[in-house]
Amino acid sequence: MLAGLLLAGCASLGAPRPAAGTPEAEVVTRLGRPTHVFVNPQDSGRILEYMNGPFGQTTYFARIDADGRLVNYEQVLTTQKFTEIKIGATTKFEVVRLIGTPSETSYLALPKLEVWSYPYKENPVSDSMMHVHFDNAGVVQKLQNGPDLRRDPERRGMFGLGFRGRD
C-alpha cells in the first residue's frame, strides 16, 4: 500500500510537460490533482499549483487562461522568481501567485514578522531555503536566503529527517 501511495504522489514528476494550448482537463489528467488552485488576476484564468513540499524543492505552476487552456507550465521556486519579490511593496497575495504556497510558516514575535519558507535548489546543486518575511499588513519586509539545514547530512536525525544535535 505504501508503494502505491508513493507512486501516486510522484505521478506528475516523470510525466512529459504539457504543451501550451492543452485543455485544463487534460493537464489535470496528466499531472494529477493540483495542491492548490488560484485565480490568476492577470488574465482571469487560473493557476494550478503542483507543490512538492514540505521537503521537496520544486513547485510547478500550470497557468490556465480564461478559455481553459494551458498558457505555460513552469517551476517557480527559482532565484529569478525570488528577485521579482520587492521589499516594501509585494504582498502575500502576490507572493502566492508568484512562487506558490510556502512549505512552512512561522512567526517572529520580537520583530512582529510572519515568515514563509520555501526550500529550493539554488545553482542546481545547493540545497537552499528562502524565507520571506511579512509585516502585520502582509507586505514583504525582508528576504533571507540560506542553506536548508534539513538536508545537511551532519544534522540529520533518524531516517534522515529532523535535526541531530552537534557533538
Specify the CATH number for the domain of residue 37.
3.30.1450.10
My answer on whether 52 and 98 are in the same domain is no
User: Which residue among 39, 57, 75 closes a domain?
Assistant: 75
In a domain, 51, yes or no: yes
pTM, rounded to two decimals: 0.81
CA distance 41 to 118: 23
pLDDT per residue over 112-145, tens digit each? 999 999 999 998 778 999 999 999 999 999 999 9
Residue 148 has a CB neighbour count (10 Å cut-off) of 20
Largest pairwise CA distance in the chain: 59
User: Which residue among 37, 52, 75 closes a domain?
Assistant: 75
Strand (E) or helix (H) holding 98: helix 92-99
What cell does 37 get? 488552485
pLDDT per residue over 68-105, tens digit each? 999 999 999 999 999 999 999 999 999 999 999 999 99
Domain hosting residue 113, numbered range: 84-161
Report the number of distinct structural domains present in the chain. 2
My answer on whether 58 and 102 are in the same domain is no
* Peptide linkage before 54 cis (omega within 30 of 0): yes
In a domain, 48, yes or no: yes
The better pLDDT of the pair 3, 24 is held by 24
The Cα angle at residue 155 between residues 82 and 78, in degrees rounded to 5: 15
